[in-house]
Structure 1
Amino acid sequence: MRVHGKRRDILNDVAAFNKQNKTIGFVPTMGALHKGHLALIERALKENQKVVVSIFVNPTQFNTSEDLVNYPRTLDADIELLSKLSKEIIVFAPTPKEVYGDEMLSIKYDFEGLENEMEGKYRPGHFDGVGTVLKHFFTIVNPGKAYFGEKDFQQLQIVKKLVEIEKMSVQIIGCPIYREESGLALSSRNKRLNQKQLSEAPLIYSTLKQVKKDFGTKSVTTLNKWISEQFENNDELKLEYFEIAKVSDLKSIKRKQKDTKYRAFIAVFAGEIRLIDNIALN
Protein backbone atom coordinates (compact mmCIF):
# COMPACT_ATOMS: atom_id res chain seq x y z
CA MET A 1 0.00 0.00 0.00
CA ARG A 2 1.34 3.42 -0.99
CA VAL A 3 0.91 6.60 1.05
CA HIS A 4 1.39 9.98 -0.64
CA GLY A 5 1.46 13.46 0.81
CA LYS A 6 2.49 15.24 -2.38
CA ARG A 7 0.17 16.08 -5.27
CA ARG A 8 2.80 15.13 -7.85
CA ASP A 9 3.11 11.61 -6.42
CA ILE A 10 -0.60 10.84 -6.52
CA LEU A 11 -0.78 12.34 -10.02
CA ASN A 12 2.00 9.97 -11.14
CA ASP A 13 0.12 6.97 -9.75
CA VAL A 14 -3.13 8.06 -11.38
CA ALA A 15 -1.39 8.57 -14.73
CA ALA A 16 0.07 5.07 -14.51
CA PHE A 17 -3.32 3.54 -13.68
CA ASN A 18 -4.96 5.37 -16.57
CA LYS A 19 -2.24 4.17 -18.92
CA GLN A 20 -2.95 0.60 -17.78
CA ASN A 21 -6.72 1.17 -18.21
CA LYS A 22 -7.31 0.40 -14.54
CA THR A 23 -10.51 1.65 -12.98
CA ILE A 24 -10.12 4.02 -10.02
CA GLY A 25 -12.51 4.37 -7.11
CA PHE A 26 -12.24 7.26 -4.67
CA VAL A 27 -13.29 7.55 -1.03
CA PRO A 28 -12.71 11.03 0.44
CA THR A 29 -12.40 11.12 4.24
CA MET A 30 -11.24 13.42 7.00
CA GLY A 31 -9.60 10.51 8.79
CA ALA A 32 -10.36 9.08 12.24
CA LEU A 33 -11.58 6.10 10.23
CA HIS A 34 -14.35 3.85 11.52
CA LYS A 35 -16.42 0.92 10.22
CA GLY A 36 -18.61 3.26 8.19
CA HIS A 37 -15.58 4.44 6.23
CA LEU A 38 -14.38 0.86 5.83
CA ALA A 39 -17.76 -0.15 4.38
CA LEU A 40 -17.38 2.54 1.72
CA ILE A 41 -13.81 1.47 0.98
CA GLU A 42 -14.73 -2.22 0.79
CA ARG A 43 -17.46 -1.46 -1.73
CA ALA A 44 -15.03 0.64 -3.74
CA LEU A 45 -12.54 -2.24 -3.73
CA LYS A 46 -15.19 -4.62 -5.10
CA GLU A 47 -16.12 -2.27 -7.92
CA ASN A 48 -12.70 -0.89 -8.94
CA GLN A 49 -9.19 -2.15 -9.60
CA LYS A 50 -7.53 0.62 -7.58
CA VAL A 51 -8.92 2.71 -4.74
CA VAL A 52 -7.65 6.09 -3.57
CA VAL A 53 -8.56 7.10 -0.02
CA SER A 54 -7.91 10.72 0.89
CA ILE A 55 -7.29 11.64 4.53
CA PHE A 56 -7.58 15.40 4.81
CA VAL A 57 -9.19 17.57 7.46
CA ASN A 58 -10.44 20.31 5.18
CA PRO A 59 -10.14 23.75 6.84
CA THR A 60 -12.57 25.52 4.51
CA GLN A 61 -15.62 23.48 5.55
CA PHE A 62 -15.42 24.22 9.28
CA ASN A 63 -17.46 27.10 10.69
CA THR A 64 -15.51 27.48 13.91
CA SER A 65 -11.78 27.32 14.54
CA GLU A 66 -12.50 25.35 17.72
CA ASP A 67 -14.25 22.58 15.80
CA LEU A 68 -11.36 22.43 13.33
CA VAL A 69 -8.77 22.21 16.13
CA ASN A 70 -10.73 19.55 18.04
CA TYR A 71 -11.51 17.33 15.05
CA PRO A 72 -9.83 13.94 15.73
CA ARG A 73 -6.64 13.28 13.81
CA THR A 74 -5.35 9.68 13.84
CA LEU A 75 -3.32 9.41 10.65
CA ASP A 76 -0.93 6.65 11.79
CA ALA A 77 -3.78 4.48 13.06
CA ASP A 78 -5.77 5.16 9.88
CA ILE A 79 -2.88 4.07 7.66
CA GLU A 80 -2.36 0.91 9.70
CA LEU A 81 -6.07 0.08 9.42
CA LEU A 82 -6.08 0.57 5.65
CA SER A 83 -2.88 -1.45 5.18
CA LYS A 84 -4.66 -4.47 6.63
CA LEU A 85 -7.62 -4.00 4.31
CA SER A 86 -5.97 -4.17 0.88
CA LYS A 87 -2.75 -3.56 -1.01
CA GLU A 88 -4.81 -1.97 -3.79
CA ILE A 89 -5.46 1.14 -1.66
CA ILE A 90 -3.48 4.31 -2.28
CA VAL A 91 -3.65 6.86 0.55
CA PHE A 92 -3.48 10.55 -0.24
CA ALA A 93 -2.83 12.56 2.93
CA PRO A 94 -1.81 16.05 1.80
CA THR A 95 -1.23 19.30 3.65
CA PRO A 96 -3.61 22.21 2.95
CA LYS A 97 -0.90 23.84 0.81
CA GLU A 98 -0.69 20.74 -1.41
CA VAL A 99 -4.45 20.96 -2.03
CA TYR A 100 -5.05 24.72 -2.17
CA GLY A 101 -1.66 26.20 -2.97
CA ASP A 102 -0.84 29.57 -1.41
CA GLU A 103 -4.45 30.79 -1.17
CA MET A 104 -6.82 28.65 0.89
CA LEU A 105 -10.06 30.04 -0.54
CA SER A 106 -13.43 28.47 -1.25
CA ILE A 107 -15.21 28.78 -4.58
CA LYS A 108 -18.65 30.34 -4.21
CA TYR A 109 -21.09 27.79 -5.64
CA ASP A 110 -24.73 27.99 -6.61
CA PHE A 111 -26.10 24.52 -5.92
CA GLU A 112 -29.62 25.62 -6.95
CA GLY A 113 -30.69 26.18 -3.36
CA LEU A 114 -29.56 22.83 -1.96
CA GLU A 115 -26.84 24.66 -0.02
CA ASN A 116 -29.35 26.91 1.78
CA GLU A 117 -31.37 24.19 3.51
CA MET A 118 -30.73 22.53 6.89
CA GLU A 119 -26.96 22.30 7.30
CA GLY A 120 -26.55 25.36 5.10
CA LYS A 121 -28.70 27.45 7.44
CA TYR A 122 -26.57 26.60 10.45
CA ARG A 123 -23.16 26.32 8.78
CA PRO A 124 -22.85 29.19 6.27
CA GLY A 125 -20.17 28.58 3.66
CA HIS A 126 -19.79 24.94 4.65
CA PHE A 127 -20.83 23.52 1.29
CA ASP A 128 -18.64 25.95 -0.63
CA GLY A 129 -15.73 24.41 1.30
CA VAL A 130 -16.95 20.89 0.55
CA GLY A 131 -17.45 21.64 -3.13
CA THR A 132 -14.06 23.32 -3.47
CA VAL A 133 -12.02 20.55 -1.88
CA LEU A 134 -13.86 17.86 -3.84
CA LYS A 135 -13.29 19.73 -7.09
CA HIS A 136 -9.55 19.66 -6.27
CA PHE A 137 -9.61 15.96 -5.35
CA PHE A 138 -11.70 14.89 -8.34
CA THR A 139 -9.29 16.75 -10.62
CA ILE A 140 -6.24 15.15 -9.00
CA VAL A 141 -7.55 11.58 -8.66
CA ASN A 142 -9.79 11.54 -11.75
CA PRO A 143 -11.85 8.60 -10.44
CA GLY A 144 -14.53 6.73 -12.33
CA LYS A 145 -16.58 6.39 -9.13
CA ALA A 146 -16.57 8.20 -5.79
CA TYR A 147 -18.29 6.88 -2.65
CA PHE A 148 -20.18 8.84 0.02
CA GLY A 149 -22.26 7.76 2.99
CA GLU A 150 -25.93 8.72 3.25
CA LYS A 151 -25.43 9.99 6.81
CA ASP A 152 -24.46 13.25 5.12
CA PHE A 153 -27.40 13.01 2.70
CA GLN A 154 -27.50 16.74 1.98
CA GLN A 155 -23.80 16.64 1.15
CA LEU A 156 -24.41 13.65 -1.13
CA GLN A 157 -27.01 15.60 -3.12
CA ILE A 158 -24.71 18.61 -3.32
CA VAL A 159 -21.79 16.50 -4.57
CA LYS A 160 -24.00 15.17 -7.36
CA LYS A 161 -24.86 18.77 -8.26
CA LEU A 162 -21.15 19.73 -8.09
CA VAL A 163 -20.28 17.09 -10.68
CA GLU A 164 -23.04 18.42 -12.90
CA ILE A 165 -21.88 22.05 -12.51
CA GLU A 166 -18.20 21.23 -13.13
CA LYS A 167 -19.07 18.81 -15.96
CA MET A 168 -17.03 16.01 -14.43
CA SER A 169 -17.42 12.37 -15.47
CA VAL A 170 -17.14 10.81 -11.99
CA GLN A 171 -20.12 8.71 -10.89
CA ILE A 172 -21.25 9.55 -7.34
CA ILE A 173 -22.28 6.48 -5.34
CA GLY A 174 -24.40 6.88 -2.19
CA CYS A 175 -24.00 4.13 0.42
CA PRO A 176 -26.26 3.22 3.38
CA ILE A 177 -25.65 4.66 6.83
CA TYR A 178 -23.50 2.41 9.01
CA ARG A 179 -24.67 2.29 12.63
CA GLU A 180 -23.58 1.12 16.06
CA GLU A 181 -25.64 -1.71 17.57
CA SER A 182 -27.40 1.05 19.53
CA GLY A 183 -28.50 2.69 16.28
CA LEU A 184 -26.19 5.69 16.59
CA ALA A 185 -24.86 6.64 13.16
CA LEU A 186 -21.10 6.12 13.01
CA SER A 187 -19.13 9.35 12.87
CA SER A 188 -15.54 10.35 13.60
CA ARG A 189 -17.01 12.86 16.06
CA ASN A 190 -18.38 9.97 18.16
CA LYS A 191 -14.85 9.48 19.51
CA ARG A 192 -15.25 12.73 21.43
CA LEU A 193 -18.44 11.64 23.24
CA ASN A 194 -18.20 10.75 26.92
CA GLN A 195 -19.95 7.69 28.36
CA LYS A 196 -23.07 9.59 29.42
CA GLN A 197 -23.42 11.17 26.00
CA LEU A 198 -22.88 7.81 24.31
CA SER A 199 -25.63 6.28 26.40
CA GLU A 200 -28.09 9.05 25.48
CA ALA A 201 -27.13 9.51 21.79
CA PRO A 202 -29.16 6.50 20.49
CA LEU A 203 -32.26 8.63 21.18
CA ILE A 204 -31.47 10.40 17.89
CA TYR A 205 -32.08 7.32 15.76
CA SER A 206 -34.92 5.93 17.87
CA THR A 207 -36.89 9.16 17.36
CA LEU A 208 -36.23 9.03 13.61
CA LYS A 209 -37.52 5.46 13.46
CA GLN A 210 -40.70 6.50 15.27
CA VAL A 211 -41.20 9.38 12.84
CA LYS A 212 -40.88 6.93 9.95
CA LYS A 213 -43.46 4.66 11.59
CA ASP A 214 -45.89 7.55 12.16
CA PHE A 215 -45.32 9.43 8.92
CA GLY A 216 -48.24 7.84 7.11
CA THR A 217 -50.82 8.66 9.78
CA LYS A 218 -49.68 11.85 11.52
CA SER A 219 -49.24 15.40 10.24
CA VAL A 220 -45.85 17.08 9.79
CA THR A 221 -46.81 19.61 12.47
CA THR A 222 -47.57 16.84 14.95
CA LEU A 223 -44.30 15.06 14.21
CA ASN A 224 -42.27 18.27 14.57
CA LYS A 225 -43.88 18.96 17.94
CA TRP A 226 -43.31 15.41 19.14
CA ILE A 227 -39.60 15.52 18.23
CA SER A 228 -39.13 18.77 20.14
CA GLU A 229 -40.73 17.21 23.21
CA GLN A 230 -38.34 14.23 23.12
CA PHE A 231 -35.31 16.48 23.55
CA GLU A 232 -36.55 19.45 25.58
CA ASN A 233 -35.87 17.83 28.98
CA ASN A 234 -32.76 15.87 28.02
CA ASP A 235 -29.70 17.13 29.90
CA GLU A 236 -27.19 15.57 27.49
CA LEU A 237 -28.74 16.23 24.06
CA LYS A 238 -29.95 19.54 22.66
CA LEU A 239 -31.94 19.62 19.43
CA GLU A 240 -30.60 22.07 16.85
CA TYR A 241 -33.08 21.24 14.12
CA PHE A 242 -35.49 18.61 12.88
CA GLU A 243 -36.97 18.86 9.41
CA ILE A 244 -39.00 16.72 7.07
CA ALA A 245 -37.94 17.59 3.54
CA LYS A 246 -38.47 16.58 -0.04
CA VAL A 247 -35.63 14.46 -1.39
CA SER A 248 -35.68 16.31 -4.73
CA ASP A 249 -34.79 19.79 -3.45
CA LEU A 250 -34.33 19.28 0.33
CA LYS A 251 -36.92 21.97 1.11
CA SER A 252 -38.76 21.40 4.38
CA ILE A 253 -42.49 20.81 4.18
CA LYS A 254 -45.58 21.63 6.19
CA ARG A 255 -47.88 19.22 4.38
CA LYS A 256 -47.33 15.92 2.58
CA GLN A 257 -48.04 15.45 -1.11
CA LYS A 258 -48.72 12.31 -3.09
CA ASP A 259 -46.00 10.73 -5.25
CA THR A 260 -43.22 12.64 -3.45
CA LYS A 261 -40.23 11.16 -1.64
CA TYR A 262 -39.38 12.52 1.81
CA ARG A 263 -36.62 12.19 4.38
CA ALA A 264 -36.38 13.32 7.98
CA PHE A 265 -33.21 15.19 8.99
CA ILE A 266 -31.94 15.96 12.48
CA ALA A 267 -28.99 17.73 14.13
CA VAL A 268 -28.30 17.44 17.84
CA PHE A 269 -25.61 18.77 20.15
CA ALA A 270 -24.10 16.49 22.79
CA GLY A 271 -22.23 19.13 24.73
CA GLU A 272 -20.11 20.83 22.05
CA ILE A 273 -20.20 17.81 19.73
CA ARG A 274 -22.62 18.08 16.83
CA LEU A 275 -24.30 14.91 15.55
CA ILE A 276 -26.47 14.55 12.46
CA ASP A 277 -28.66 11.78 11.10
CA ASN A 278 -31.50 11.18 8.65
CA ILE A 279 -33.93 8.53 7.50
CA ALA A 280 -36.02 7.83 4.41
CA LEU A 281 -39.72 8.13 5.24
CA ASN A 282 -41.35 6.59 2.17
Structure 2
Amino acid sequence: MEILQAAAELQARAEKWRQAGQRIGLVPTMGALHEGHLQLVRAAARENDVVVVSIFVNPTQFNNPEDFRLYPRLPEADAALLAPAGCTALFLPSVEQMYPQPTVLTFDFGPLERVMEGAHRPGHFNGVATVVSKLFHLSRPHRAYFGQKDLQQVAVIRQLTADLSFDLEVVAFPTVREADGLAMSSRNRRLAANDRAVAPRLHAALEAGARLVTAGQTAEAAQGAGSRLIAAESAITPEYFAVVDARTLQPLVGVAQPGQPVALCVAAYLGGVRLIDNLVVQV
Protein backbone atom coordinates (compact mmCIF):
# COMPACT_ATOMS: atom_id res chain seq x y z
CA MET A 1 0.00 0.00 0.00
CA GLU A 2 1.40 3.40 -0.92
CA ILE A 3 0.54 6.65 0.83
CA LEU A 4 -0.13 9.69 -1.32
CA GLN A 5 -0.42 13.21 0.05
CA ALA A 6 -0.44 15.40 -3.07
CA ALA A 7 -3.51 15.75 -5.27
CA ALA A 8 -1.30 15.67 -8.37
CA GLU A 9 0.17 12.32 -7.25
CA LEU A 10 -3.26 10.76 -7.02
CA GLN A 11 -4.25 12.16 -10.41
CA ALA A 12 -1.11 10.70 -11.98
CA ARG A 13 -1.68 7.28 -10.41
CA ALA A 14 -5.32 7.25 -11.52
CA GLU A 15 -4.30 8.07 -15.08
CA LYS A 16 -1.75 5.25 -15.05
CA TRP A 17 -4.27 2.75 -13.66
CA ARG A 18 -6.89 3.77 -16.21
CA GLN A 19 -4.43 3.47 -19.10
CA ALA A 20 -3.52 -0.03 -17.90
CA GLY A 21 -7.21 -1.00 -18.02
CA GLN A 22 -7.49 -1.38 -14.26
CA ARG A 23 -10.76 -0.70 -12.51
CA ILE A 24 -10.59 1.71 -9.57
CA GLY A 25 -12.69 1.59 -6.41
CA LEU A 26 -12.80 4.64 -4.12
CA VAL A 27 -13.70 4.63 -0.42
CA PRO A 28 -13.91 8.23 0.85
CA THR A 29 -13.58 8.51 4.64
CA MET A 30 -12.74 11.01 7.37
CA GLY A 31 -10.63 8.43 9.19
CA ALA A 32 -10.88 6.97 12.70
CA LEU A 33 -11.73 3.79 10.84
CA HIS A 34 -13.97 1.03 12.17
CA GLU A 35 -15.33 -2.26 10.86
CA GLY A 36 -17.95 -0.47 8.78
CA HIS A 37 -15.23 1.31 6.82
CA LEU A 38 -13.22 -1.88 6.46
CA GLN A 39 -16.19 -3.73 5.00
CA LEU A 40 -16.36 -1.06 2.30
CA VAL A 41 -12.65 -1.46 1.60
CA ARG A 42 -12.93 -5.25 1.37
CA ALA A 43 -15.88 -4.95 -0.99
CA ALA A 44 -13.94 -2.51 -3.15
CA ALA A 45 -10.99 -4.93 -3.23
CA ARG A 46 -13.26 -7.78 -4.36
CA GLU A 47 -14.87 -5.75 -7.13
CA ASN A 48 -11.95 -3.69 -8.49
CA ASP A 49 -8.29 -3.98 -9.41
CA VAL A 50 -7.20 -0.92 -7.44
CA VAL A 51 -8.60 0.47 -4.18
CA VAL A 52 -8.09 4.09 -3.17
CA VAL A 53 -9.06 5.07 0.38
CA SER A 54 -9.08 8.77 1.19
CA ILE A 55 -8.81 10.09 4.73
CA PHE A 56 -9.65 13.77 4.96
CA VAL A 57 -11.50 15.55 7.74
CA ASN A 58 -13.26 18.02 5.48
CA PRO A 59 -13.67 21.43 7.13
CA THR A 60 -16.32 22.65 4.68
CA GLN A 61 -18.90 20.09 5.81
CA PHE A 62 -18.74 21.00 9.50
CA ASN A 63 -21.13 23.72 10.63
CA ASN A 64 -19.90 23.28 14.21
CA PRO A 65 -16.22 24.31 14.62
CA GLU A 66 -15.94 22.40 17.89
CA ASP A 67 -17.13 19.19 16.20
CA PHE A 68 -14.44 19.68 13.55
CA ARG A 69 -11.76 20.31 16.19
CA LEU A 70 -12.69 17.22 18.21
CA TYR A 71 -13.23 14.82 15.31
CA PRO A 72 -10.93 11.80 15.93
CA ARG A 73 -7.74 11.80 13.86
CA LEU A 74 -5.75 8.52 13.90
CA PRO A 75 -3.85 8.31 10.60
CA GLU A 76 -1.18 5.84 11.74
CA ALA A 77 -3.69 3.41 13.24
CA ASP A 78 -5.91 3.78 10.19
CA ALA A 79 -3.05 3.00 7.80
CA ALA A 80 -2.26 -0.17 9.74
CA LEU A 81 -5.85 -1.37 9.24
CA LEU A 82 -6.09 -0.56 5.55
CA ALA A 83 -3.32 -2.63 3.99
CA PRO A 84 -4.68 -6.00 5.20
CA ALA A 85 -8.16 -5.00 4.02
CA GLY A 86 -6.96 -4.59 0.44
CA CYS A 87 -6.19 -0.89 0.08
CA THR A 88 -3.82 -0.11 -2.80
CA ALA A 89 -3.31 3.59 -2.15
CA LEU A 90 -4.13 5.73 0.88
CA PHE A 91 -4.75 9.36 0.01
CA LEU A 92 -3.94 11.60 2.99
CA PRO A 93 -4.16 15.19 1.73
CA SER A 94 -3.83 18.39 3.71
CA VAL A 95 -6.49 21.09 3.63
CA GLU A 96 -4.19 23.08 1.34
CA GLN A 97 -4.04 20.20 -1.13
CA MET A 98 -7.81 19.85 -1.28
CA TYR A 99 -8.54 23.58 -1.19
CA PRO A 100 -5.63 25.46 -2.81
CA GLN A 101 -7.97 28.43 -2.93
CA PRO A 102 -11.28 29.07 -1.17
CA THR A 103 -14.14 27.44 -3.03
CA VAL A 104 -17.03 29.67 -4.08
CA LEU A 105 -19.08 27.06 -5.93
CA THR A 106 -22.34 26.12 -4.20
CA PHE A 107 -24.69 23.19 -4.68
CA ASP A 108 -28.43 23.11 -4.17
CA PHE A 109 -30.03 19.68 -3.94
CA GLY A 110 -33.55 21.00 -3.62
CA PRO A 111 -36.00 19.20 -1.33
CA LEU A 112 -33.43 16.48 -0.65
CA GLU A 113 -31.34 18.81 1.51
CA ARG A 114 -34.18 20.75 3.14
CA VAL A 115 -34.97 17.96 5.60
CA MET A 116 -33.22 16.17 8.46
CA GLU A 117 -29.44 16.64 8.19
CA GLY A 118 -29.79 19.44 5.65
CA ALA A 119 -32.26 21.33 7.84
CA HIS A 120 -30.18 20.96 11.01
CA ARG A 121 -26.71 21.39 9.50
CA PRO A 122 -26.82 24.33 7.04
CA GLY A 123 -24.11 24.05 4.41
CA HIS A 124 -23.23 20.49 5.33
CA PHE A 125 -24.20 18.90 2.04
CA ASN A 126 -22.58 21.68 0.05
CA GLY A 127 -19.32 20.75 1.77
CA VAL A 128 -19.92 17.04 1.18
CA ALA A 129 -20.68 17.57 -2.51
CA THR A 130 -17.64 19.79 -2.96
CA VAL A 131 -15.12 17.39 -1.44
CA VAL A 132 -16.67 14.30 -3.06
CA SER A 133 -16.58 16.00 -6.47
CA LYS A 134 -12.90 16.76 -5.95
CA LEU A 135 -12.18 13.17 -4.92
CA PHE A 136 -14.05 11.83 -7.94
CA HIS A 137 -12.02 14.07 -10.27
CA LEU A 138 -8.71 13.20 -8.63
CA SER A 139 -9.12 9.42 -8.36
CA ARG A 140 -11.38 8.79 -11.41
CA PRO A 141 -13.04 5.74 -9.83
CA HIS A 142 -15.27 3.23 -11.58
CA ARG A 143 -17.08 2.63 -8.28
CA ALA A 144 -17.35 4.67 -5.07
CA TYR A 145 -18.38 3.06 -1.78
CA PHE A 146 -20.42 4.60 1.03
CA GLY A 147 -22.21 3.36 4.16
CA GLN A 148 -25.99 3.48 4.51
CA LYS A 149 -25.67 4.93 8.02
CA ASP A 150 -25.32 8.26 6.21
CA LEU A 151 -28.52 7.61 4.25
CA GLN A 152 -29.16 11.22 3.25
CA GLN A 153 -25.54 11.71 2.25
CA VAL A 154 -25.75 8.70 -0.06
CA ALA A 155 -28.88 10.16 -1.66
CA VAL A 156 -27.13 13.50 -2.18
CA ILE A 157 -24.09 11.80 -3.73
CA ARG A 158 -26.29 9.76 -6.05
CA GLN A 159 -27.96 12.97 -7.21
CA LEU A 160 -24.60 14.69 -7.57
CA THR A 161 -23.30 11.79 -9.66
CA ALA A 162 -26.34 11.82 -11.92
CA ASP A 163 -26.59 15.60 -12.32
CA LEU A 164 -22.89 16.07 -13.13
CA SER A 165 -22.65 12.87 -15.23
CA PHE A 166 -19.81 11.31 -13.26
CA ASP A 167 -18.98 8.05 -15.02
CA LEU A 168 -19.04 5.82 -11.96
CA GLU A 169 -21.30 3.61 -9.87
CA VAL A 170 -22.24 4.66 -6.34
CA VAL A 171 -22.32 1.57 -4.11
CA ALA A 172 -24.05 1.74 -0.70
CA PHE A 173 -23.47 -0.89 1.99
CA PRO A 174 -25.76 -1.65 4.94
CA THR A 175 -24.99 -0.08 8.30
CA VAL A 176 -22.58 -2.12 10.42
CA ARG A 177 -23.58 -2.32 14.09
CA GLU A 178 -22.08 -3.20 17.42
CA ALA A 179 -23.46 -6.26 19.21
CA ASP A 180 -25.92 -4.06 21.14
CA GLY A 181 -27.27 -2.41 18.00
CA LEU A 182 -25.37 0.89 18.06
CA ALA A 183 -24.39 1.94 14.56
CA MET A 184 -20.62 1.99 14.18
CA SER A 185 -19.35 5.55 13.88
CA SER A 186 -16.04 7.32 14.29
CA ARG A 187 -17.77 9.65 16.73
CA ASN A 188 -18.52 6.72 19.06
CA ARG A 189 -14.91 7.02 20.24
CA ARG A 190 -15.84 10.30 21.90
CA LEU A 191 -18.67 8.86 24.00
CA ALA A 192 -18.18 8.70 27.75
CA ALA A 193 -18.84 5.27 29.27
CA ASN A 194 -22.26 6.24 30.68
CA ASP A 195 -23.35 7.74 27.35
CA ARG A 196 -22.09 4.72 25.43
CA ALA A 197 -24.26 2.53 27.66
CA VAL A 198 -27.47 4.31 26.63
CA ALA A 199 -26.55 5.00 22.99
CA PRO A 200 -28.21 1.77 21.72
CA ARG A 201 -31.54 3.39 22.70
CA LEU A 202 -31.40 5.17 19.33
CA HIS A 203 -31.50 1.90 17.40
CA ALA A 204 -34.16 0.52 19.73
CA ALA A 205 -36.32 3.57 18.99
CA LEU A 206 -35.91 3.02 15.25
CA GLU A 207 -36.90 -0.62 15.63
CA ALA A 208 -39.96 0.32 17.67
CA GLY A 209 -41.10 2.76 15.01
CA ALA A 210 -40.35 0.28 12.23
CA ARG A 211 -42.55 -2.37 13.84
CA LEU A 212 -45.50 0.01 13.74
CA VAL A 213 -44.87 0.98 10.12
CA THR A 214 -44.69 -2.64 8.96
CA ALA A 215 -47.81 -3.44 11.00
CA GLY A 216 -49.76 -0.86 9.02
CA GLN A 217 -49.72 1.94 11.58
CA THR A 218 -49.32 5.55 10.52
CA ALA A 219 -46.02 7.37 10.17
CA GLU A 220 -47.19 9.71 12.90
CA ALA A 221 -47.71 6.80 15.29
CA ALA A 222 -44.27 5.42 14.48
CA GLN A 223 -42.65 8.80 14.94
CA GLY A 224 -44.39 9.28 18.27
CA ALA A 225 -43.38 5.87 19.57
CA GLY A 226 -39.75 6.32 18.62
CA SER A 227 -39.59 9.85 19.98
CA ARG A 228 -41.08 8.81 23.31
CA LEU A 229 -38.59 5.99 23.73
CA ILE A 230 -35.71 8.41 23.21
CA ALA A 231 -37.21 11.13 25.40
CA ALA A 232 -37.49 8.64 28.26
CA GLU A 233 -33.68 8.58 28.50
CA SER A 234 -32.55 11.83 30.13
CA ALA A 235 -28.96 11.48 28.86
CA ILE A 236 -30.13 11.81 25.26
CA THR A 237 -30.98 15.17 23.72
CA PRO A 238 -32.99 14.41 20.57
CA GLU A 239 -32.66 16.56 17.47
CA TYR A 240 -35.09 14.80 15.17
CA PHE A 241 -36.89 11.51 14.68
CA ALA A 242 -38.30 11.32 11.16
CA VAL A 243 -40.32 8.81 9.19
CA VAL A 244 -39.80 9.40 5.47
CA ASP A 245 -40.20 7.88 2.04
CA ALA A 246 -36.86 6.13 1.55
CA ARG A 247 -36.77 7.10 -2.13
CA THR A 248 -37.22 10.85 -1.71
CA LEU A 249 -36.47 11.31 2.03
CA GLN A 250 -39.55 13.51 2.25
CA PRO A 251 -41.82 13.12 5.31
CA LEU A 252 -44.32 10.30 5.13
CA VAL A 253 -47.90 11.15 6.00
CA GLY A 254 -50.35 8.48 7.08
CA VAL A 255 -49.94 4.82 6.21
CA ALA A 256 -47.23 3.62 3.82
CA GLN A 257 -48.46 2.05 0.61
CA PRO A 258 -47.75 -1.62 -0.20
CA GLY A 259 -44.23 -1.93 -1.58
CA GLN A 260 -43.23 1.54 -0.42
CA PRO A 261 -39.78 1.70 1.21
CA VAL A 262 -39.81 3.70 4.43
CA ALA A 263 -36.81 5.12 6.27
CA LEU A 264 -36.85 5.94 9.96
CA CYS A 265 -34.08 8.41 10.78
CA VAL A 266 -32.79 9.83 14.05
CA ALA A 267 -30.22 12.37 15.22
CA ALA A 268 -29.43 13.04 18.87
CA TYR A 269 -26.74 14.28 21.23
CA LEU A 270 -25.17 12.25 24.01
CA GLY A 271 -22.76 14.20 26.18
CA GLY A 272 -22.14 16.68 23.39
CA VAL A 273 -21.52 13.97 20.76
CA ARG A 274 -23.94 14.02 17.85
CA LEU A 275 -24.99 10.60 16.54
CA ILE A 276 -27.22 9.66 13.61
CA ASP A 277 -28.82 6.39 12.60
CA ASN A 278 -31.53 5.06 10.32
CA LEU A 279 -33.49 1.95 9.50
CA VAL A 280 -35.11 1.20 6.13
CA VAL A 281 -38.10 -1.13 5.95
CA GLN A 282 -40.36 -2.33 3.18
CA VAL A 283 -44.11 -2.37 3.78
Structure 1 residues 139-178: aligned runs within 5 Å: 139-178=137-176
Cα distance, 1:19 vs. partner? 1.3
What is the total number of aligned residue pairs between the two structures?
280
Cα distance in 2, alignment partners of residues 82 and 15 from structure 1:
22
Match of 2:189 in 1: 191
1:116-172 CA distance string (max 9 Å, x none): 111001001100000000110000000000000000011001100001121111110
What is the SS of the residue equivalent to 1:265? strand
SS in 2 for 1:178: coil
Q: CA deviation at 1:218?
A: 2.2
Once the two structures are superposed, residues 193-241 of structure 1 have per-residue CA deviations (whole angstroms, 9 ceiling, x without a partner) of 0111111011111121122222123222222222222122322211110
The normalised TM-score by structure 2 is 0.96
C-alpha distance in 2, partners of 1:217/1:247?
16
Distance (whole Å) between structure 1 residues aligned to residue 110 and residue 266 of structure 2: 22
Letter of the aligned partner of 1:72 in structure 2? P
Question: For 1:71-108, what per-residue CA distance to the aligned partner results, in whole angstroms no more than 9, with x for missing partners?
Answer: 0000111111112333x5200010111112121x3632
Greater Cα offset, 206-215 or 183-192: 206-215
1:12 corresponding residue in structure 2: 12
Extract unaligned runs of 5+ from structure 1: none
Which digits, 9 at most, give the CA deviation of each residue in 1:230-269, with x for residues without a partner? 1223222111100100122111122124242211111111
Cα distance in 1 for partners of 2:36, 2:114 equals 27
- Rounded to whole Å, the distance in 2 between the matches of 1:61 and 1:235 is 29
For the 8 Å contact 1:32–1:78, the answer to whether it is kept is yes
- Aligned-pair distance for 1:110? 2.2
SS in structure 2 of the partner of residue 275 of structure 1: strand
CA shift, 1:13, in A, is: 1.1
Find the counterpart in structure 1 of residue 180 from structure 2. 182
Gapped runs of 5+ residues in structure 2? Answer: none
Q: Which residue of 2 aligns with 1:137?
A: 135
- The percent of aligned pairs where both chains have the same amino acid is 35
Shifted more, 154-163 versus 219-228: the winner is: 219-228
1:123 is the counterpart of 2:121: yes
Q: For residue 134 of structure 1, give the secondary structure of its aligned residue in structure 2.
A: helix
Distance 1:197 1:58, change over 3 A: same
Q: Return the TM-score normalized by structure 1.
A: 0.96
Partner of 1:212: 210
Q: Distance in 2 between matches of 1:271 and 1:166?
A: 39
Q: CA deviation at 1:65?
A: 0.7
CA distance in 2, matches of 1:106, 1:29: 23
Indicate conservation of the 8 Å contact 2:4/2:90, yes or no: yes
The answer to whether the 8 A contact 1:243-1:264 is kept is: yes
User: Which letter does structure 2 place at the counterpart of 1:52?
Assistant: V
> SS at 1:281's partner residue?
strand
Change (3 A) 1:278 1:106: farther
- Retained in 2: the 8 A contact 1:267–1:276? yes
Question: Map of 1:59-98 to 2, 5 A cutoff?
Answer: 59-86=59-86, 88-98=87-97
CA-based RMSD: 1.2
Q: Distance in 2 between matches of 1:45 and 1:214?
A: 39
